[in-house]
C-alpha cells in the first residue's frame, strides 16, 4: 500500500525563478569555489538545502504585515502584538525580542551561568555551546544513546538521558551547574523530537536540585507535531496544548524565530520570573536595542507575530513533516542510508555508509555534498569530520561520531518535484559511489574552518 502524504496547504502567488546550470558549468563553479559549498553563489544553485534557518517563504498575510510594521523606536504597535501572541503560545509572562537565536543566548546565558562551571543539555546547538563557553562554562551533552545509532528505530531520539543527567549532577555538584537546557527538536541529533514526558522528567530533576531549566525552542512547533503523532497521552491534544505542556513550569526559553516562526530574521527570550526578566531587559538594551524592538525592524516584528501563529497550524505541520517523510520514503526505496526515522527539518544522509571507501580524514560527507552539486545543482553541507576540524592541542584531524551530509529543507519553499530531484540525484550518486574520491584541505583557518577552507579532490 502506498502511504499517503500531505499536500501543500497553500498555492503559489509569487515565484522566484531558478536556473539549473549544465553539468560542465557546475563542474567549473564548484572548482572555482575551491570545493567549499559556502563559496558558491546562490544563483548557481538549483535547490538550496544549506539551512532551514531564515530561508522560509512568508505568507501573503505576513507580507501584508510588513507594510503595517510600526517603526517607532519605543512602544510600537507590532511590539504589543508580538507580546500578546508569544505569551499566548508559550504561556510565559515575560517576552523579550532580540534579533536572532544567538542574540538570545548572548543576553540570557551569562545571567544563568554567572560564575557557574557547567551547562547540561540533551544537545547544545553550536551557537549555544559557543555562548556557554564565552560565559566561562563548559557545555555537556547528555542525549539518549539511541540517537547515536542511525538505524535505531526510536520515537524520541532527541530525548535527554535522565539517568546520566542525574549522575552528572551528583558528580559535578548541583551548585556548579548553572542551567539545564532542553533543545526541541534536538537539532544536532538530526532534528529528532523530544517527548513531553522527557521534558517533564528533566524539569523535575532540575527542580529537585534547584537548577534553572531552559528550553532552546527553535523548533517548538515541529516538536509538538511529533509529540501528537507519537506520544499516546497527546494524540487528541491540539498543537497549542502540547506547546503549553512542553513549556509549563520552564524557567525561561531562547528561540531563533528563523525556524518555526517562518521569518527571515528574529529571536525571542521568554522568562517566568520578573527578576530574571529585569536582568534580560538591561542586557538587551546594551546589546540589541531598546526593549520594544530588540534589534528588529518593526516590519519584521509584525511578520513574526503572524508567523508564530502560522507555524503552529496543524495542516501546515502535517505538510511540513510530510515533506520530510516523503523524501525519506523515496530514499528507503533507493537504499540510501540516513538518520532514521527522519527528523523535523532535515534529512541527514549517512555518508559513512554510502561512501565507505572514503576515510574520515578525506571527508566523505563533504565529498557527497560536492557530488550533489555536480549531479543536480543541489547545495547541502557536511556535518562530520570536515566540520569538526582539528584537535586544538595536537593539530590532528578529529574523527566525528557521524559523517552526515545534511539536506535542510526550507519551509514552504520547494515542491514535491524538487524533493524527487533530490532523491533521484542521490540514487544516481549511489550507483557510481565506488568511483567517488575524497578531498584534502589546502588552506584552513584555525576555527570554524568549514565556512572558509579551500579543498582539492584527491587524485
Ligand atoms: C538556529 C538555532 C540557534 C541559533 O539561532 P540563530 O537564529 O541562527 O542565531 C540556536 N539553537 C538551535 C536549536 C537552533 O536551531
pLDDT of 420-436, one tens digit each?
999 999 999 999 999 99
Q: Which residue out of 70, 126, 155, 424 is catalytically annotated?
A: 126
CB atoms within 10 A of CB 337: 17
Alpha carbon nearest to ligand 1 atom 14, residue: 218
Question: Confidence class of residue 1 from pLDDT cuts 50, 70 and 90?
Answer: low
Say if ligand 1 is within 6 A of residue 284 CB.
no
Owner of C-alpha cell 503559489: 12
Peptide bond into 185 cis (omega under 30): yes
pLDDT one-digit tens code per residue, 357-396: 999 999 999 999 999 999 999 999 999 999 989 887 898 9
Quote the ligand 1 centre to 101 CA distance (angstroms): 5
Give me the mean pLDDT over the 4-26 stretch.
Answer: 92
CB atoms within 10 A of CB 34: 16
Is the pLDDT confidence value at 6 over 90? no
- Determine phi and psi for 127, rounding to 5 degrees: -70, -30
Catalytic status, residue 218: yes
pLDDT one-digit tens code per residue, 258-273: 999 999 999 999 999 9
Catalytic status, residue 391: no
Over its C-alpha atoms, the chain yields an Rg (Å, rounded) of 22
Residue 220, C-alpha cell as written in the block: 517548538
Catalytic status, residue 126: yes
pTM of the predicted protein model: 0.95
Alpha carbon nearest to ligand 1 atom 11, residue: 125
Q: Can you tell me which atom of ligand 1 is nearest the CA of 266?
A: 7
Q: Which residue out of 90, 125, 226, 386 is catalytically annotated?
A: 125
Query: Ligand 1 pocket check: which of 256, 260, 307, 348 to mutate, most ligand atoms within 8 Å of Cβ?
Result: 256
Quote the ligand 1 centre to 212 CA distance (angstroms): 20
Alpha carbon nearest to ligand 1 atom 6, residue: 101
pLDDT for res 3: 62
Q: Can you tell me which atom of ligand 1 is nearest the CA of 265?
A: 7
Interstrand relation of 212-216 and 177-183 (parallel, antiparallel or unpaired): parallel
Residue 40, C-alpha cell as written in the block: 558558491
pLDDT for res 392: 78
Amino acid at each position: 500500500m502506498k502511504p499517503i502524504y500531505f499536500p501543500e496547504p497553500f498555492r503559489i502567488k509569487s515565484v522566484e525563478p531558478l536556473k539549473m546550470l549544465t553539468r560542465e558549468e557546475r563542474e567549473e563553479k564548484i572548482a572555482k569555489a575551491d570545493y567549499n559549498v559556502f563559496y558558491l553563489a546562490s544563483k548557481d544553485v538549483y535547490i538550496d538545502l544549506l539551512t532551514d534557518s531564515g530561508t522560509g517563504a512568508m505568507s501573503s498575510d505576513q507580507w501584508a504585515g510588513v507594510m503595517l510594521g510600526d517603526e517607532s523606536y519605543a512602544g510600537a504597535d507590532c511590539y504589543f502584538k508580538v507580546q500578546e501572541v508569544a505569551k499566548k503560545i508559550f504561556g510565559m509572562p515575560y517576552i523579550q525580542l532580540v534579533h536572532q537565536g544567538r542574540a538570545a543566548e548572548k543576553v540570557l546565558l551569562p545571567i544563568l551561568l554567572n560564575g557557574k562551571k557547567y551547562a547540561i543539555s540533551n544537545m547544545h546547538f553550536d551557537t549555544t555551546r559557543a555562548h556557554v563557553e564565552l560565559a566561562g562554562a563548559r557545555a555537556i551533552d547528555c542525549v539518549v544513546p539511541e540517537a547515536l545509532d542511525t538505524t535505531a528505530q526510536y520515537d524520541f531520539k532527541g530525548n535527554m538521558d535522565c539517568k546520566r543527567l542525574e549522575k552528572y549532577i551528583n558528580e559535578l555538584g548541583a551548585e556548579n551547574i548553572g542551567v539545564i537546557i532542553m533543545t526541541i527538536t534536538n537539532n544536532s541529533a538530526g532534528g529528532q523530537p523530544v517527548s513531553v514526558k522527557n521534558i517533564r522528567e528533566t524539569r523535575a530533576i532540575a527542580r529537585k536540585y534547584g537548577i534553572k531549566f531552559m528550553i532552546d525552542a527553535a523548533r517548538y512547533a515541529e516538536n509538538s507535531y511529533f509529540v501528537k503523532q507519537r506520544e499516546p497521552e497527546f494524540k487528541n491534544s491540539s498543537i497549542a496544548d502540547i506547546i503549553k505542556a512542553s513549556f509549563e513550569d520552564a524557567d525561561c526559553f531562547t528561540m531563533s524565530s528563523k525556524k518555526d516562526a517562518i521569518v527571515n530574521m528574529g529571536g525571542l527570550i521568554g522568562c517566568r520570573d520578573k527578576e530574571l526578566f529585569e536582568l534580560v531587559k538591561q542586557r538587551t538594551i546594551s546589546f540589541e536595542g531598546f526593549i520594544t524592538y530588540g534589534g528588529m525592524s518593526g516590519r519584521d516584528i509584525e511578520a513574526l507575530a503572524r508567523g508564530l501563529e502560522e507555524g503552529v497550524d496543524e495542516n501546515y505541520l502535517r505538510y511540513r513533516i510530510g515533506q520530510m517523510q516523503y523524501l525519506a520514503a523515496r530514499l528507503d526505496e533507493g537504499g540510501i542510508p540516513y538518520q532514521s526515522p527522519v527528523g523535523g527539518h532535515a534529512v541527514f544522509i549517512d555518508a559513512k555508509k554510502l561512501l565507505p571507501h572514503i576515510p574520515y580524514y578525506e571527508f566523505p560527507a563533504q565529498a557527497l555534498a560536492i557530488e550533489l552539486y555536480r549531479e543536480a545543482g543541489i547545495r547541502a553541507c557536511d556535518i562530520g569530520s570536515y566540520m569538526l576540524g582539528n584537535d586544538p592541542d595536537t593539530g590532528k584531524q578529529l574523527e566525528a561520531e557521524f559523517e552526515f551530509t545534511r539536506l535542510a529543507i526550507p519551509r514552504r519553499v520547494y515542491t514535491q518535484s524538487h524533493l524527487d530531484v533530490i532523491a533521484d540525484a542521490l540514487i544516481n550518486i549511489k550507483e557510481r559511489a565506488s568511483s567517488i574520491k575524497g578531498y584534502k584541505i589546502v588552506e584552513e583557518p584555525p576555527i570554524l574552518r568549514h565556512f572558509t577552507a579551500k579543498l582539492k579532490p584527491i587524485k
